[in-house]
Amino acid sequence: MNSEAEASVAERAKGPRLALGIAYRGQAYSGWQRQPVEPTVQGRLESALSEFAAQPVDTMCAGRTDTGVHGLNQVVHIDPPVVRELNSWVRGTNRYLPPDIAVLWCREVGPEFHARYSALGRRYTYVLLESPVRPAIEVGSAGWVFTPLDGDRMREATCVLIGEHDFSAFRSSECQANSPVRRLNAIEIRRCGAYWRFDFDGNAFLHHMIRNIMGCLIAVGAGRRPPSWMAEVLAARLRLHAAPTFSPAGLYFAGPYYDPALDLPTHTAAMDWLPR
């Protein structure tokens, strides 16, 4: 067989573009993005995919998460070098993954699909324990405050954040985004027993944006700042005007969402594990 024929056979052996949903606990990893030395979720995932496919497999994700941040439905796409059944990509890859990372689902998508650029929006959830003593069972899975919080004050403070704004005041100095302008569609705050649950929906988020907003909301909820302070911080567009960055422990990437015509899952069993 000549080289052209061999290339043609190899090309036909490649599978269609796939989208996969990934869940993970972030405590043991230095964030999502692959790094040369530190363990990362992407590094572990690509290693497992490559083991299963017996060839290198690269991934493109919907949104990178920081050290200690968890994923409930991270979406990645791959261009598989081999053809396998969809369910085989789930079970076969999970065989090579550590217990704190799992592939939840796999779907075939068109070649124009991109996990990041095709997303219409993204959702995050922050789980916060309000307790006079530090957490034990929830350590790493929930943020913690010992001061009682006022939900109405925090909800009032979020009103100014809804819509499209320059979020420079809530942006990490290490943020690599080209623009600080983002659109927040909704922020919901509710109490679930000893826990507070904060749900964020936006088109995209800056590095540390949610954790910096959380620091400000807690300052307002604890009575250290008035709700109107949030508008002052936003208008200042300077990171030094906001509260310190809050813990990553309770932050969960609930995942992106896409055109409904793609029929990609937006809910996973892991989401039912959170306080409701």
* Options 66, 152, 259, 272, the catalytic residue: 66
199 as an active site residue: the answer is no
Distance from C-alpha of 29 to C-alpha of 66, rounded to nearest angstrom: 9
Give me the active site residues, please: 66
